[in-house]
Amino acid sequence: MTLILKVDPVNPEITKIRTAAEILRKGGLVAFPTETVYGLGADALNPNAVRKIFEAKNRPLDNPIIVHICDKSQLFELVEEVPEWVIKAVEILWPGPVTFVLKKRKIVPNEVTAGLPTVAIRMPAHPVALALIREAGRPIAAPSANLSGKPSPTTGEHVIRDMYGRVDVIIDAGETFFGVESTVIDATEDPPIVLRPGPMTVEELEQIVGKRFRIHPVALGRSKISIPKAPGMKYRHYAPEARLILIEGDHEKVMKTILEIYYRYKSLGKKVALLITRETRNKLGISRDVIEIGSRENLYTVAKNLFKSLRMLDEKSYDIGICEGFELRGVGLAIMNRLRKAASEIINS
């Protein structure tokens, strides 16, 4: 069965961390908090342990996993040909929510990289994650600790709901800090390519690194815009059971469309929730059926509440969630990437 360890997020109890680390070393699975979302960890150098991650999550085998380290020097044991700009960048950015994809060394099993010649690496900025990796004495491969296709977990309770009985240990240290997964940069290309936007924004990265980055079309979450999904079509990520409708465009028009769609589905007898910011809620003057997702004044609040709000749709048995869109700048890019992937339907007003 699953051992649940409640730990202090800032000063983790070392005996509990050692218990979890010992299980990792023996090839077990440990869910643990990072500053982004909860991860589902296994010994990155043990192919059998890594395979268990895919089983526990129902994860497609062709989806590679990020390797987590606790010391910058470990990077050179796992990859070769680290460009000078990456060496300088990690000096500034690690520990932190940025992942670099680099050419892998032989020591990294194909199970981790889904057969790719590259591996994604990061050093997380969470005391619990760092202590666990250090005590395990090896790098930890970890995707997000949710069932594949579901919203990523940002609290210990989310992990328990998805993973209890499927993993050996769940370390519960409360809520994560950022709430969306790390920014992923393909550093094997020049200019580097943003594969997934995250808490560290493209604008900040470009300034720190002194290079322009390219943004991969997938990073915009645009693979399926404006097409209402056929029922049962499993192309979605981060998806609640409820039908999520994302309204993009000029904010005044967005607010009008939100109301129209809300009342249309209400009149059809559906249970409808509005996933909107404090500002939008105040302007619309609605308080019932609102799941407040943060403030437009600081989009990091929206990032932090995003997955929790998507999960709430199902916890409260809503049929439909209607969500406002955000600008594709700063952390807004990371939010829109998740929302577009989670949405059943995207409407441009």
In this structure, the number of other CB atoms found within 10 A of the CB of residue 72 comes to 13
User: Does position 158 bind ligand AMP by CB under 6 A?
Assistant: no
- In this chain, which stretch among 111-119, 165-173, 296-304, 339-347 interacts with ligand AMP, using CB under 6 A? 111-119
Edge to edge, the sheet with strand 272-276 lists: 290-292, 272-276, 320-324, 243-248, 345-348
User: Does position 147 bind ligand AMP by CB under 6 A?
Assistant: no
The entry of Mg ion, ligand AMP, none that residue 119 binds, CB within 5 to 8 Å by partner kind? ligand AMP
Q: Which residue carries 């059943």 as its tokens?
A: 344
Q: Could you please report the per-residue DSSP string of 162-179?
A: HHTTTSSEEEE-S--SS-
Q: Which of 144, 182, 201, 305 binds Mg ion (CB under 5 A)?
A: 144
List the one residue out of 4, 22, 126 whose CA is nearest residue 68: 126
What does the DSSP 8-state code read for residue 298? Answer: B
User: Does position 176 bind Mg ion by CB under 5 A?
Assistant: no
Q: Which of 24, 93, 108, 119 binds ligand AMP (CB under 6 A)?
A: 119
Residue 39: CB minimum distance to Mg ion, A? 9
Looking at the Cβ atoms of 121 and 274, the one nearer to Mg ion is 121
Looking at the Cβ atoms of 199 and 320, the one nearer to ligand AMP is 199
Residue 168: CB minimum distance to ligand AMP, A? 19
Binding to ligand AMP in span 45-64, by CB under 6 A? 63-64
> Distance between CA atoms of 79 and 268, rounded to whole angstroms?
56
List the one residue out of 315, 282, 277 whose CA is nearest residue 293: 277
Compute CA distances 28 → 1, 49, 331, whole Å.
12, 6, 34
Residue 64: CB minimum distance to ligand AMP, A? 3
What does the DSSP 8-state code read for residue 213? Answer: P
Residue 119: CB minimum distance to ligand AMP, A? 5
User: Does position 188 bind ligand AMP by CB under 6 A?
Assistant: no
Compute CA distances 219 → 97, 138, 154, 225, 343, whole Å.
16, 30, 21, 13, 15
- In this chain, which stretch among 85-93, 143-151, 195-203, 315-323 interacts with Mg ion, using CB under 5 A? 143-151
HSE, side-chain direction, 13 A CA sphere, residue 99: 24
> Distance between CA atoms of 214 and 195, rounded to whole angstroms?
9
User: Does position 143 bind ligand AMP by CB under 6 A?
Assistant: yes
User: Does position 101 bind ligand AMP by CB under 6 A?
Assistant: yes
Q: Residue 68 in 3-state DSSP?
A: strand
Asked whether the CA dihedral 132, 134, 137, 143 is positive or negative, the reply is: positive
> What residues have CB less than 8 Å from 164, skipping those under 6 apart?
2, 4, 170
The entry of ligand AMP, Mg ion, none that residue 196 binds, CB within 5 to 8 Å by partner kind? ligand AMP
Looking at the Cβ atoms of 78 and 119, the one nearer to ligand AMP is 119
The entry of ligand AMP, Mg ion, none that residue 188 binds, CB within 5 to 8 Å by partner kind? none
- In this chain, which stretch among 113-121, 128-136, 242-250, 304-312 interacts with ligand AMP, using CB under 6 A? 113-121
User: Does position 75 bind ligand AMP by CB under 6 A?
Assistant: no
User: Does position 154 bind ligand AMP by CB under 6 A?
Assistant: no
**Interface with ligand AMP (CB under 6 A):** 63-64, 66, 101, 113, 116, 118-120, 143-144, 181, 184, 195-196
**Interface with Mg ion (CB under 5 A):** 144
